[in-house]
Chains A and B, each alone.
Chain A
Amino acid sequence: MKFALLINTGPYQHQAADTAYQFARAALAEGHTIRRIFFYQDGVYNASRLSVPPQDDRHIVRRWSALAAEHRIELLLCSASALRRGILDKEGARVNAIDTDNLAPGFRLAGLAQLIDAGIEADRLLSFAD
């Protein structure tokens, strides 16, 4: 089955990002396909490469990057959600004259249309939210 995932909550505060990750791992291990994971609302905080959890805790952001690289999954953020919350790609930093970008590897800013598109294209769109 082709799944698309939507994550609407930030890492650590809510368990949804963990549940989504564990679902993704389990589904891929069973031979299902995931082409796109979309991050909306506070979900965009999953993409900050400036996240520094304690050493004995899981690194949620790096975990996403590794998953995407292994399985060639698109990690897309709603750009409006991301920009207002301070998640910037290189272009966003440049245009707004901010001294750094902070998008972790594998993540990319996109539009909400790409979320709807993912929902149409996939057999199931699963939403992980509070």
Chain B
Amino acid sequence: MSTKKRIMIVNHRPPHGTLHAWESLDLTLTAAAFEQEVSVVFMGDGVFQLLADQDTSQINIKNFAPAYRTFRDYDIRHVYVEKEALARRGLSSDDLLIDVNLVDTGALCRLMTEQDIILHF
């Protein structure tokens, strides 16, 4: 297959409580190593995954949040955060540990229709 595929990874769960966020991150970094168009979405409670200053020392679970900073090294440029989800949780892009594209839910829906592969966690 010569043409690039558009692969979108959608995160809608909080960072802890389940392993979804961590395993999604593993998959995202793997996908980025292929020469495809990878984008990542954080919507709903998924926006909590990107909170700066996370401290997991009290729950004895590895703090994998700093790994989101490697998105830039992996050339993952399309990082979308659902604007309404942030606002509803009293957050703004200043609370996040990386630069993101804030998009409203309608724009997210349109982006999804343009993908070849969507994987959600």
User: Which A positions have Cβ atoms within 8 angstroms of B?
Assistant: 6, 8, 40-41, 80-81, 111-113, 115-117, 119-121, 125, 127, 129
Contact = CB atoms under 8 A, between A and B. Distances in A.
Is the contact region of chain A dominated by helix, strand, or loop, or is it mixed? helix
B15 to A, nearest CB: 15
Nearest to B24: A41
Interface string B21-64: 00100110011011010000000000000000000000000000
A-B pairs with lowest CB-CB distance, top 4: A112-B30, A119-B117, A116-B31, A125-B117
B19 A113 contact: no
Contacts of B20: 41
Given A113-B30, A113-B33, A120 B1 contact: yes
B83 to A, nearest CB: 25
B44 to A, nearest CB: 15
Given A111-B30, A113-B30, A125-B119, 16 more contacts: A8-B121, A40-B23, A41-B19, A81-B23, A113-B33, A116-B7, A116-B27, A116-B30, A116-B31, A116-B34, A116-B36, A119-B117, A120-B36, A127-B119, A127-B120, A129-B120
A121 B1 contact: yes
Contacts, number: 42
A6 B116 CA distance: 15
B5 interface: yes
A81 B23 CA distance: 8
Contacts of A113: 30, 33-34
A120 B30 CA distance: 13
Given A41-B19, A41-B20, A119 B30 contact: no
30 contacts: A40-B27, A41-B20, A80-B26, A81-B23, A111-B30, A112-B26, A112-B27, A112-B30, A112-B31, A113-B34, A115-B30, A116-B7, A116-B30, A116-B36, A117-B34, A119-B5, A119-B7, A119-B117, A120-B1, A120-B5, A120-B34, A120-B36, A121-B1, A125-B117, A125-B119, A127-B118, A127-B119, A127-B120, A129-B120, A129-B121
A125 B5 CA distance: 11
